[in-house]
Structure 1
């Protein structure tokens, strides 16, 4: 059992968020307030405040007279979210290209070498970590707190879906190619090119997920 840092509702929100992302509370499941309050030795007030936070984030939904449930991400949600996050991260790539120093480019070069090594070795989990670090570095270079916050909020919803797009056939190799295209544009100082390459990278993620969902349905109906 995890220890709750304090009784403040933001700490409770963090704990609840971790439960959801770790799969201890799965999409569609009922959030038992009594059980959680007993488990974490807290009163109902901070938990309910935390639930309001997660409801605003889209991770939880409240149903009158029934209580709170972990949200489920639909295919339509993914269709709606990916074009938006593609635009936002594309803008980050644009701004990052204009602001990147030679030292920033060198740091990104190191990360892309790691990304390539993980892809060639088929180390998907390590690839995910390097991929995340690269996206974060570009967002930080863009230096726009509003873009960063909006992207972070959308990522929470995508994380709720427990997506595994790199498991699509050929996706690991293609993802690397897309990342290298973004970096090549950034290194060349081509802000518009970096923007377009990043948008393409995010939209291709959605297509890979669509292929996985189709393959899964095909297996179930076979």
Structure 2
């Protein structure tokens, strides 16, 4: 049983990474036989992984046709942004009194590293850094169910990587978003609970930004 579960997890990671790095794009059909050949495993754990990915929002199941990568529409993205903003902001509120100076220094380092990633067009690196940035305080939260729900909602997004070079507008959006990271750091430093919660909820996860995750 443990071997079977590990195979399913292996498939899960394989497919989610393909989505994250852009190898699989919205509405691309999942080829189960191709995955079976690539990973040299049977179809059963592949099917289980696909069902889990569909349940978490990565994929959608098409009757009699299999699975395809989900295309997130603007209205759905707005709804998710609103809920994520509420959870992320509340977690920041709950952790502001226990976050350490070392944690804050690490967040500063990560924000600086994101600036460098933008300048060097390191799209996947930028994504990894911003995940680490938010996880610095999220993982301090004592409410594990809140963390699990937040992470599940974030996994609903297909646009897990950032495509640099397509437009100056996209680059400016990333720069603006990273400036928000510095503001989050400032509010953590100054222990401004309510202001931090509002900023993350209403600015950092503003519903107007959802358009960029629905493209």
Taking structure 2 as the reference length, the TM-score comes to 0.79
Structure 1 runs, 4 residues or longer, greater than 6 Å off: none
Matches within 5 A, 1:93-172: 93-115=92-114, 118=116, 122-123=119-120, 125=122, 128-158=127-157, 160-162=158-160, 164=162, 167-168=169-170, 170-172=172-174
Taking structure 1 as the reference length, the TM-score comes to 0.77
Partner of 2:10: 11
Higher RCO (CA 8 Å, separation ≥ 6 residues): 2
Deviation sequence 1:44-96 (CA, Å, 0-9, x none):
21111111111111111222222222211111121111111111110121112
Contiguous gaps of at least 5 residues in structure 1: 1-5, 217-222
Larger Rg: 1
Contact 1:96 1:142 survives alignment (8 Å): yes
- Greater percentage in helix: 1
Match of 1:184 among 177, 183, 186: 186
Q: CA RMSD in A?
A: 3.1
Using the alignment, how far apart are the partners of 1:84 and 1:197 within structure 2? 14
Aligned residues: 206
Contact 1:90 1:198 survives alignment (8 Å): yes
Partner of 1:3: none
